[in-house]
Structure 1
């Protein structure tokens, strides 16, 4: 299709226009009129023959294609009537149906807030009547402009800017919703937009905590500083208040786990995670399907193994999220903000420190610890044998020993639980 076709001055509707398919010398390649439009996904002009030389008939063909692709309305090729199967399917309905269908997925906790941003946009812009076929690249650009201006508010009331990657997560999730609706034949077309790749919007945090900084995090929990004029009772309560953050730090350092996996570690035998005899911890509990963010089985050193053995049949971290207490700690000890800190800092820092100790030759063990490399089927029993990821375990234990020297009690005896089920005092009779 030649670039000069638009000069034919024929019928057009939206991005679609009629044109003759001409060669460079002006002669026709085909006797039939063509429908021409720009395909944003393929980044090129596309065309379709109308099968007729009649401009009137070709206009009808263009109208039918326009309604089908841009408005989700199927048109009968014989009489031109809109088909019932092409009725508009609202985005809000598509989201509601998608959430019901994905309710039992382990990722539902991430799916809900991503789509909540979309429904908030529809509500605030008075666009609740938007149908799936209305959502194109222009619509998504408008959503991006709106979403990036909406700050993230923490439970403590603090706000921070929303990252472009967070916005694209909502865009990506909305595309999944519309594609799911298309699969169910609720809408005629798949999503006509795409999310930007992570590399185009995400800035990988560069800050890594050294061992001394990690030790200061533990000191915040084990030996909290006393504020001027603070009462004995208020000071005495600081440590038990910080016990769950302490536990999160312990399990995160020992396993290099992602924050969500660290929160889900349990020593309940029904979850089949903690294997005391083998000193192996399966970060993926029984009944949870593996996702792209693979959760491996990792070896556990002696100090952390004693803490898990003394934990009883429960989660090691018994709060839903340690984020709020982590943010308070970060502010107190002066960790960097602007996305450089956060719960994932422990995982990033452990990977950095261990890589320096392992060297590139043995870094494959670090990749397995992180879940970036999966064990082969032939290695299914390897995690329960002596020496599994031995070098990675040695590097982890050396970091733990350094932390313990700088902050005695960082991986010391666990806390007892009081009658209310709360951690309130050290159990000095527990195994070291």
Structure 2
């Protein structure tokens, strides 16, 4: 019952979450979801009053970035037929969040302008802004070889979560527990700054800087986020020296076969067995 959400009950719940080992950021998000649900119920007059919910202080930002050696170990540990490869490449070549990578579909790619609209048409922007970003050369080659409704897919079906696949590869690569998917985005931002990309371009690339009215057409400028594009290509070129699959030696056949006379699919070692 809503009336049961007393201060004592909330404090007990907070203590339980912390005892489970969840981060302060996660604990705050959980409380925030409950707070929003209560406020919505009150706004719609489903309840006459709601209890006060005090959110914990904002936790420290995620402190980790991946070293070159860690990225190389992780990428080389990804199985040849795993959807995790495309997922990682999308995130590393764009700096996007995980949900944007999982949602990416072919109609979001402007092949002529070499752009990716991370926020698909019809989806309302949220505070986790999805920008339009350059399509880097290596990501373009990868996406051109995929024929499916979603780029991150398993036999054509959209992937709901990569947590299990990520955990298996992380363990195989002998990487620490903190090496979570969000480390890719943090590493992209760090790498861009390390390579001298202006801070406003870094903000634009990873979605911290929302496009204003005067910038609606800026994305069609040939130099749009040019420093970020150059830095990302150079970074992936550097990693390719130690990751054969980035050089196109994936061990996965890119031959296609016609299914039912209408659909074209990639032939992978799993499918051929």
Asked if TM exceeds 0.5, the reply is yes
Name the counterpart of 2:156.
Answer: none
Name the counterpart of 1:141.
Answer: 11
Tell me which of 159, 162, 177 is aligned to 2:37.
177
Name the counterpart of 1:197.
Answer: 57
| Residues 274/312 of structure 1: CA separation in 2 closer, same or farther (3 Å cut) | same
Name the counterpart of 1:323.
Answer: 163
Name the counterpart of 1:397.
Answer: 233
The CA distance in 1 between the partners of 2:77 and 2:267, in whole Å, is 16
Larger Rg: 1
Tell me which of 116, 122, 147 is aligned to 1:287.
122
* Alpha-carbon distance, 1:332 to partner: 1.8
Structure showing greater relative contact order (alpha-carbon pairs closer than 8 Å, 6 or more residues apart): 2
Name the counterpart of 2:179.
Answer: 341
The SS at the match of 1:402 is helix
The SS at the match of 1:281 is strand
| Residues 411/368 of structure 1: CA separation in 2 closer, same or farther (3 Å cut) | farther
Q: Given that residues 147 and 265 in structure 2 are in contact (C-alpha distance below 8 angstroms), is that contact kept between their aligned partners in structure 1?
A: no
Name the counterpart of 1:429.
Answer: none
Write the deviation string for residues 37-94 of structure 1: whole angstroms up to 9, x where unpaired.
xxxxxxxxxxxxxxxxxxxxxxxxxxxxxxxxxxxxxxxxxxxxxxxxxxxxxxxxxx
The SS at the match of 1:144 is helix
* Alpha-carbon distance, 1:334 to partner: 2.2
The CA distance in 2 between the partners of 1:148 and 1:368, in whole Å, is 35
Provide the TM-score with structure 2 as the length reference.
0.85
| Residues 218/416 of structure 1: CA separation in 2 closer, same or farther (3 Å cut) | farther
Q: Given that residues 146 and 266 in structure 2 are in contact (C-alpha distance below 8 angstroms), is that contact kept between their aligned partners in structure 1?
A: no
Provide the TM-score with structure 1 as the length reference.
0.55
In the TM superposition, 1:11-410 aligns within 5 A as: 130=1, 132-149=2-19, 151=20, 161-198=21-58, 202-221=59-78, 238-240=79-81, 242=82, 244-267=83-106, 269=107, 273-318=108-153, 319-337=159-177, 340-358=178-196, 362-410=198-246
Please provide the CA RMSD for this pair. Answer: 2.3
The SS at the match of 2:122 is coil
The CA distance in 2 between the partners of 1:135 and 1:423, in whole Å, is 54
Give the number of aligned pairs: 257
* Alpha-carbon distance, 1:145 to partner: 2.1
Tell me which of 250, 268, 273 is aligned to 1:424.
268
| Residues 250/411 of structure 1: CA separation in 2 closer, same or farther (3 Å cut) | farther
Give unmatched runs, 5+ long, in structure 2: 154-158
The SS at the match of 1:341 is coil
The CA distance in 2 between the partners of 1:208 and 1:423, in whole Å, is 35
| Residues 385/191 of structure 1: CA separation in 2 closer, same or farther (3 Å cut) | farther
Q: Given that residues 208 and 352 in structure 1 are in contact (C-alpha distance below 8 angstroms), is that contact kept between their aligned partners in structure 2?
A: yes
The SS at the match of 2:268 is strand
Write the deviation string for residues 358-388 of structure 1: whole angstroms up to 9, x where unpaired.
25xx121011111111121111122233110
The CA distance in 1 between the partners of 2:139 and 2:244, in whole Å, is 14
The SS at the match of 1:145 is helix
Q: Given that residues 179 and 191 in structure 1 are in contact (C-alpha distance below 8 angstroms), is that contact kept between their aligned partners in structure 2?
A: no
* Alpha-carbon distance, 1:146 to partner: 2.7
